[in-house]
Amino acid sequence: MQSFKVRVFDRYINKFIEHGQKDKTIKKCFNFMSRKEMELLQDQFLFVPYTGVNDKNGNEIYDGDVVWDGKNKYIVRRYLSGYILDKTKKVAYQPNNTIWLSDYYYCVEVIESSYTNPELLEV
C-alpha cells in the first residue's frame, strides 16, 4: 500500500495540528464509531495533501499553500492529475492566470497556508 503525507487542519481552532497530535487525530478520524461521529470529525478536520515537491528552500509544498516567486503570490490548487499555481482567489481554473506547479516549484517559496492566513491572497 502506498503511503502519502498530509497536514491536518483543525477548523475549530484555525490552525494545523502538531506532528504528535496529528497521528492521534488521524487514528480517531479513521476509527470512528458511527456515521454521525465521522461527519462531525469531517466538519472539524481538513486533511491537506502534500504535492510531492518542495520549494526552492526545501520546504514541503501542500495543497492550499501560498507561494511567492519574488513578484507574485500564488495559491497551490489541485487540478486534474496535478497541482497548479493560481493567481486568483477563485476556485475555477483560469488558463491565463495559472502555471503548473511541476514546472515552477523550484522558483517559488512557501509563505504560509491559505487555511491559516487567507489575507495573504489579497492583491
Residue 1 lies in a domain: no
Decide which of 96 and 1 is more confident.
96
Q: In what helix (H) or strand (E) does residue 109 lie, and over which residues does it extend?
A: strand 109-113
What pLDDT shows up at residue 92?
A: 52
Structural domain for 19, as ranges = 6-121
Residue 112 lies in a domain: yes
pLDDT digits (tens, 9 = 90+) for 57-72: 999 999 999 999 998 8
What pLDDT shows up at residue 57?
A: 94
**How many other CB atoms sit within 10 Å of the CB of residue 123?**
7
Find the DSSP H helices in the chain. 19-30, 35-44, 101-104
Overall domain count for the chain: 1
Looking up residue 24, the CATH number of its domain turns out to be 2.30.30.290
Residue 85 lies in a domain: yes
pLDDT digits (tens, 9 = 90+) for 31-86: 555 667 767 777 888 888 899 999 999 999 999 999 999 988 888 988 888 898 88
Place of cell 492583491: 123
For residue 110, list its beta bridge partners: 67
Residue 53: all three cell numbers together: 515537491
